[in-house]
Amino acid sequence: MMRLSLFELSKIWRKKSFILSVCILLAINLFLLWYTNLPDAETPSLSAYKAIEDDISLMTEGEKTEYISGLKNKIDGVLFVQEIRNLQAMGNEMGTVIAQQKLDANPGVFEQYNGLYQSGAYLLYTDDLMKESTLINELFEEHSKVSQYNAYLQSVQNTKNSLSGISIFQKETTDFFSDCNIEKSAADYKKLDKVQIRWQPSKGIVLALESSITDVLLFLGIMLFVGGLITEEKEKRLLYITRATKRGMSAYLFGKLSALLIHTVTLSLVMISSNMLFAAFTTRIGDLTASIQSLAPYMESSLSISVIEYILLSILTKAAVLFCFGTILSAVAIISTKSFMPYFTGMILLAISSILYITIPTYSNLCPLKYLNFIGAMEAEELYGAYLNLNINEIPVSRLTLTWTTLVLLISTGVVLCLLIYLRGNHLELKKLRISKFIRFHSHGNLLRHEAYKLLITNRAVLILLCFAILIGYYGISQEYHPSVSEQYYQKMMLQLEGEFTEQKEQLILAEQSRFNEAIRKISQIDAMVSNGEIDDLTADSMKTQWESVLSFYPSFERIALQYDRVKQYGGEFIYDTGYLYLLGKQDNSLLICALLLSACMVLSFHNSISVEHSKNSWFLLGTTAAGRKKIIVRKVFVCLFCAAMMSVVPWIFRSIAISKAFPMNSLTVPIQSIPAFENIQICMSVIVFIVLAVFLQMLLIMGVALATTVISGWRKNDMQSLFFGILILVIPLVLKLMGFDLVGWISIYPLYSLEML
């Protein structure tokens, strides 16, 4: 039986197309895992979690508590200082009164953290105060939750003891399920008294094991395997041969189901292991021997297991769900006469499971349907990292027990259905799907249309282009820009100054300059009083608070003064430039990410544009004349370049929409030299003309990537080799640049794409 199982398995695994499909699923999984965890204005990067994990990895529990509490106190103090400064900088009586009230309610806090705020030394793990605050608050909440674990256990027992103290007359009016649930919970948690807690950040484990994208790709991997396992043999009518003997019937089917089981376990292990490696590299995964309750999201688990045991149980559970899913699809594949039915059935089952899991509330009487389906069962973190009893006829039954019971029943049902359908079924071959006579295929008389059809439809490049268009559009439109208080000041001033230089605008700038000069003078006087011994340092800090708040906006005013000096000396107009700096890639690395996505899109879409003809030996027919071969290649290249040109515009559309929500972009007709970052450009042109030229330049670069991909495809004459060299030459340098290897970026399109060369 084992030899037959391995034979059935090898028939699928040895296919290059299947191996390529699994590799694509794995690559998509890692890519989306990285893509969905990109930092934004408030979300810290994964490297920030990695850095803090490294810092606390060798600390004792007491040292961790002291360190995290210290970080929390510092960041709260810095935020308090920022709030007070912002209130005082409002320049009105209300702001001053509110600021004084907060200072009176928190004596000494401002003085303690004002120096830290001014130095900027509070940024230990990120480059922005909001990101730093998000990171530290998240870890502080996790640590606070885990540190109260013993109190949590005691509260469960206290609830049970309180229930026991209720009199018999009161108990008659209580909910029977609730009472039984409390009793069962106390019994389940009682065995956890000796669990040792070693707190650690949960980001890495959550990232690796709670990815819904990974779960969806696992289901797709099973659908592909079942298609090759049953459907392809039905196409060749091989099922008639395997039913020649009675033993052949059972041995053949069980061999296939055994192969399916091995594949589900292997696929789950590979996908989860790749997630773990990604998490270990980007965020760290901590001590795997610690108890599962050491991670805050899983503190409510009633199981006495370690983190590594939880990981293994998660893989086993996902494999069981996938095997159950695969047996049902196998039964459908055996009985169906249409090749698409297993895939259609799989999508229907997943859609129904998703609807049940999303729409049914936890408190509903239909709660068992919410969890006892394919999507609910794949949520291993809820099975082993949480605690829940379902109401089954007023009796509390563990969700974990019900899930595994349901899986066993469904697997048994799927195996029996496969066996009965195979032994008694008559539909052992596929019937061709007939297209209606009213819908006829029209051949392409135009060579360009024909080559476009081959590239976009036959080679499925249009699907890749569409997916990347959605990804790039989502990345652009989902970016949230939150102007800081300093930026709000700069925005308010520049929107008043925008346009031609006037005497009123000059007076506004000079008035602001006088205000800052007055603040500098007052601070100097206070420092002189301290030097002369007239006042102490504490009094001086209190006196300087108002003036330091004014000076906190001076860096923003310097940007205004820079434009004022240029306009005063050379003429021109004022322009609010922050939006343009973001749009043109001067404020973040969004252009690098767009270049990476577009380059990957071109390679994946057109790596087989030329090699496909070699793999099918079509050039013997198509290349009978030099002109014929040349015309075909020219048409292919034209289609690739056209698609590249269209894709290169997508980032501009969505990024401009997102940026303009926070930073108005007016004065498009102003010379580009009005923006200080571009004042060295020698050619005189307006901002709109410069943006159009930037779009055109990036369009040419992406078209160059598409052209290079077709050249590689013609050079290697092999789909896999073309894909490999295309990624190696055109994509990997951008990935390395994103990872911080700046020198590698110079051998990519990025220096020109990011306009750094201008």
pLDDT for residue 436 = 43
**Least confident interval from 37-41, 70-74, 516-520:** 37-41
pLDDT for residue 236 = 59
pLDDT for residue 346 = 86
Task: Answer yes or no: is pLDDT of 592 > 60.
Answer: yes
pLDDT for residue 526 = 87
Task: Answer yes or no: is pLDDT of 389 > 90.
Answer: no
Distance CA 38, CA 592 (A): 13
Task: Answer yes or no: is pLDDT of 173 > 50.
Answer: no
Summarised one tens digit per residue, pLDDT across range 550-589 is 787 888 888 898 888 888 888 888 999 999 998 888 887 8
pLDDT for residue 239 = 60
Task: Answer yes or no: is pLDDT of 437 > 50.
Answer: no
What contacts 115, CB < 8 A, 6 or more positions away? none
Summarised one tens digit per residue, pLDDT across range 28-55 is 888 888 888 888 767 888 889 999 998 9
Which range of 111-115, 274-278, 343-347 scores highest in mean pLDDT? It is: 274-278
Query: To 10 degrees, the CA torsion angle through 330, 333, 336, 342?
Result: 100
- Show the CA angle centred on residue 623, arms to residues 621 and 624, nearest 5°: 75
pLDDT for residue 433 = 46
pLDDT for residue 169 = 41
Output the pTM of the full model: 0.72
> What is the percent of the chain where pLDDT is above 90?
22
- 624 confidence band (pLDDT: 50, 70, 90): low
pLDDT for residue 171 = 46
Summarised one tens digit per residue, pLDDT across range 476-499 is 887 878 787 788 888 888 888 888
Which range of 142-156, 169-183, 239-253, 548-562 scores highest in mean pLDDT? It is: 142-156
Residue type, 293: Q
Q: Are 553 and 486 in contact (CB under 8 A)?
A: yes
Task: Answer yes or no: is pLDDT of 73 > 80.
Answer: yes
Distance CA 333, CA 343 (A): 9
Task: Answer yes or no: is pLDDT of 265 > 60.
Answer: yes
Q: Are 123 and 36 in contact (CB under 8 A)?
A: no
Distance CA 205, CA 199 (A): 13
| CA 290 to each of CA 198, 304, 407: distance values in angstroms, whole numbers, following the listed order | 6, 11, 29
Task: Answer yes or no: is pLDDT of 429 > 70.
Answer: no
- 755 confidence band (pLDDT: 50, 70, 90): confident
What contacts 517, CB < 8 A, 6 or more positions away? none
Q: 3-class DSSP state for residue 713?
A: helix
> What is the percent of the chain where pLDDT is above 70?
89
Residue among 495, 498, 496 nearest 669 (CA): 498
Task: Answer yes or no: is pLDDT of 432 > 90.
Answer: no
| CA 351 to each of CA 373, 564, 654: distance values in angstroms, whole numbers, following the listed order | 11, 60, 30
Tell me how crowded residue 627 is: count the other CB atoms within 10 A of its CB.
9
Task: Answer yes or no: is pLDDT of 534 > 60.
Answer: yes
Distance CA 18, CA 15 (A): 5
Summarised one tens digit per residue, pLDDT across range 278-308 is 999 988 888 899 999 999 999 988 899 999 9
The token duo for 519 is 């603040």
The mean of the pLDDT values for the chain is: 83
The whole-number average pLDDT for the span 213-218 is 90
Q: 3-class DSSP state for residue 86?
A: helix
Distance CA 413, CA 419 (A): 10
- 163 confidence band (pLDDT: 50, 70, 90): low
Q: How many residues does this entry show for the chain?
A: 758
Q: 3-class DSSP state for residue 244?
A: coil
